[in-house]
Amino acid sequence: MGIRNPRALLGGAVRRIARTSPIAKVIEGRGSPSHLPDWRAIIATDQALWREALAKIAAGPRILMASSIGGHPQFTVLESALNVSLTLRGACVDTLLCDAAVPACQRAKIAGIAPAALVRGELDRVFCDGCIATGELVFTIPGLERLATSRFLTEAERVRAQEIASTVPADAIGSYELDGVPIGEHAKAGALRYYGIGDLSLEPDGEGVLRRYLEASLLTAFAVRNLLAERTYDTVVTNHGIYTPHGIVNTVARAKGIRTACWNLAYRKQCAIFSHGDTYHHTLLNEPTSEWESFPWSETHEADIVAYLNSRRHGKRDWIWFNRDADEDMVGFARATGIDWSRPVIGMLTNVVWDAQLHYPANAFPTMLDWVHETVRYFAGRPDLQLLIRVHPGELAPPGGNTVSRQPAVEEIRKAFPELPKNIFIIPPESGISTYAAMGRCDSVIIYGTKTGVELTSVGIPVIVAGEAWIRNKGLTLDATSVEQYRQILGTLPLGRRMDEATVARARRYAYHFFFRRMIPLPFLQHRADRWPPFTIEAPEGLREFLPGRHPGLDALCDGILKGSPFVYRAEEFGLHDQAE
């Protein structure tokens, strides 16, 4: 079923949505509707092929593309391309889109709607019309059905969601389960993301916002349960696989035994990263090493990954980067800060406090800030060592995003340690100092959840992992699973040596797998640095661009969704298809 006429909505949507939001820019000019894919025009390039495909889908696998948030074109553009590609492979694809059915969601940010307004239930006055309009535009695909979230909600369920959200004790919301399905975890993660903080108790309206996210999570769960009772699907696809609504959709579908796939944009241009079952935040931690230990390896592969890792210093082959054109003058840095490179220096890389606040059983600490405080306390008692803390540049604003961290790590450290020990140095997020150059001068580097651990091990720098970094469990790092074990590892510092040659070779093999095989290239996503989203679809072959055999990366994604095969692109066989500069 359709939701509303997108063309009729556009005028009012532009006036009513937040003028600084990404979707306002999409609709108003920086990325106009013409920047979004026109599937009618693409399908018109071979209408006979499309009619033939539609004639076969009734007997094919059923896929639910649970996009939900139509106003996130950085996700829906690719998801709409997958809808077309899956249809050409014989699948029947429905798209789920929210139609202002919930009072809070992943798209809401404090910069766009004030906490008090969110608590009053005014989200639809700010975001929803534009979100609905953009979703309609992107998913206007002849012959494919759009489903509105509110269609699968009853008034009784709305009342129940409000009652539960208003009565569950605030400190129990994060662990709240509905009929055995974890709901509160994603509600809390969504509220933290909305604020850009890691502790809701710091906000006057924090509890009210959290309860709105719980209500939204419950409504999403009710709607998805009703949808899955009415229609049968072989696979449910979501972006992220966390927060509200996508984490709830994924969790409910998995509870019903339905195969799920989660994805996000990868760092490399023209690439996406997918995982089966859980969000990739979880699955990449425990991916079997057999996935990458034995694929064919050559000097060419070695040269390819070394060249790419070198490019990461400047981000020219990526569309997500944080420290481009950074200052690599470490002599000048030492002169300005007083750090002594002739004495042992231990590096430390923080994460953004609010990002992906999920439960990770193997973490040595309950939160990143607990880890930061413990580490600073430890090094305060080790004057023989210097600690160099590089605060994540993404605290200021992630590329393509608009969530600025409102709980800066530097501030949190200063609050806990008003007089910072003289052997501890901080590179703040706004600093232009190169993370790579600074960490390259360190004896070893301690990380919590950053992906930089993949790069550091590939150049032989020993890494200690205290959180959910994806380099954990690969036989490459010193992994702590408790505070006691973490302290024991720190007690061995300084290590005084680089990683041995065999381990570096193993690290580079994993880096190749991580950056070239798990980050799946889709050449029809053409990079546009001046627009949002940072890519557009270019189909020189028209509809035939999305047929099997045209793009090996697209084939890998469709096979994974349809058959459950690994979401791995065999770069060692097909080549990198890399938009290098």
The pair of structure tokens assigned to 52 is: 């033939």
Q: What are the respective helix, strand and coil percentages of the chain, to the nearest 5? A: 45, 15, 40
The pair of structure tokens assigned to 64 is: 């639910």
- Strand, helix or coil at 545? helix
What are the residue ranges of helices labelled H in 145-274? 155-167, 184-195, 206-230, 248-255
Closest to 390 in 3D by CA, of 427, 442, 346: 427
- Strand, helix or coil at 447? strand
The pair of structure tokens assigned to 464 is: 């200690």
Give the C-alpha separation, 326 to 321, whole Å. 11
Q: Return the percentage of the chain with pLDDT > 70, whole number.
A: 88
Closest to 297 in 3D by CA, of 138, 456, 517, 142: 517
Question: What's the CA dihedral at 68, 69, 71, 76 to 10 degrees?
Answer: -60
Q: Among 26-35, 375-384, 497-506, 568-577, which is the least confidently predicted range?
A: 26-35
Q: Is the pLDDT of residue 2 over 60?
A: no
- pLDDT tens digits, residue range 253-267? 999 999 999 999 998
* CB neighbours of residue 126 within 10 Å: 20
Q: Could you tell me if residue 414 is left (phi over 0), alpha (psi between -120 and 50 degrees) or otherwise beta?
A: alpha
Give the C-alpha separation, 365 to 367, whole Å. 6
For the chain, the farthest-separated pair of C-alpha atoms sits apart, in whole angstroms, at 74
The pair of structure tokens assigned to 563 is: 């058959």
Give the pLDDT band (50/70/90) at residue 363: confident
Q: Is the pLDDT of residue 334 over 50?
A: yes
Using an 8 Å Cβ cutoff, are 524 and 59 in contact?
A: no
**CATH 3.40.50.2000 domain extents, the chain:** 289-517
Q: Among 14-28, 143-157, 193-207, which is the least confidently predicted range?
A: 14-28
pLDDT value for 580: 47
Q: Is the pLDDT of residue 32 over 90?
A: no
| Parallel, antiparallel or unpaired: strands 271-276 and 259-265 | antiparallel
- Strand, helix or coil at 70? coil
Q: Residues 355, 162, 213, CA angle at the centre, nearest 5°?
A: 10
Give the C-alpha separation, 554 to 334, whole Å. 48
CB contact burial 56-89 (16+ within 10 A = b; e otherwise): ebeebbbbbbbbbbbbbbbbbbbbbbbbbbbbbb
Average pLDDT for residues 14-19, to the nearest whole number? 34
Give the pLDDT band (50/70/90) at residue 315: confident
Q: Among 196-200, 385-389, 496-500, 535-539, which is the least confidently predicted range?
A: 196-200
Give the C-alpha separation, 256 to 378, whole Å. 46
Distances in Å between the alpha carbon of 196 and those of 233, 352, 500? 35, 9, 40
pLDDT value for 35: 77
Residue type, 281: H
Average pLDDT for residues 80-88, to the nearest whole number? 98
- pLDDT tens digits, residue range 235-289? 999 998 889 999 999 999 999 999 999 999 998 989 999 999 988 888 888 899 9
Residue type, 405: S
Using an 8 Å Cβ cutoff, are 104 and 194 in contact?
A: yes
Give the C-alpha separation, 426 to 336, whole Å. 12
The pair of structure tokens assigned to 542 is: 């028209």
- pLDDT tens digits, residue range 464-501? 999 988 999 999 999 999 999 999 999 999 999 999 99
Q: Is the pLDDT of residue 528 over 90?
A: no
Closest to 220 in 3D by CA, of 171, 267, 178, 258: 178
The mean predicted confidence, pLDDT, of the chain is: 89
The radius of gyration computed from the CA coordinates of the chain, to the nearest angstrom, equals: 24
Residue type, 347: G
Give the C-alpha separation, 227 to 192, whole Å. 28
Residues in the chain: 581
pLDDT value for 22: 37
The pair of structure tokens assigned to 191 is: 């509220």
Give the C-alpha separation, 237 to 361, whole Å. 25
Give the pLDDT band (50/70/90) at residue 28: very low
Distances in Å between the alpha carbon of 30 and those of 9, 36, 279, 322, 535? 19, 12, 31, 22, 12
pLDDT value for 285: 85
| CB proximity list for 436: less than 8 A, separation 6 or greater | 312, 313, 323, 326, 328, 455
DSSP character string of 248-278: HHHHHHHHTT-EEEEEEE-SBTTEEEEEESS
Closest to 196 in 3D by CA, of 185, 209, 184: 209
pLDDT value for 286: 87
Query: In angstroms, how far is the first alpha carbon of the chain from the final one?
Result: 44
Give the C-alpha separation, 579 to 581, whole Å. 7
Q: Could you tell me if residue 304 is left (phi over 0), alpha (psi between -120 and 50 degrees) or otherwise beta?
A: alpha
The pair of structure tokens assigned to 211 is: 């309860």
| Parallel, antiparallel or unpaired: strands 259-265 and 235-239 | parallel
What ranges make up the beta strands (E) of 75-216?
92-97, 145-148, 177-178, 181-182
Q: Is the pLDDT of residue 165 over 70?
A: yes
pLDDT value for 360: 59
pLDDT value for 278: 86
Q: Return the percentage of the chain with pLDDT > 90, whole number.
A: 73
Using an 8 Å Cβ cutoff, are 35 and 416 in contact?
A: no
On whether the 289-517 domain is CATH 3.40.710.10, my answer is no
CATH number of this structure's domain 6-256:
3.40.50
Q: Is the pLDDT of residue 512 over 80?
A: yes
pLDDT value for 4: 31
- pLDDT tens digits, residue range 376-429? 999 999 999 999 999 988 776 554 455 666 677 888 899 999 999 999 999 998
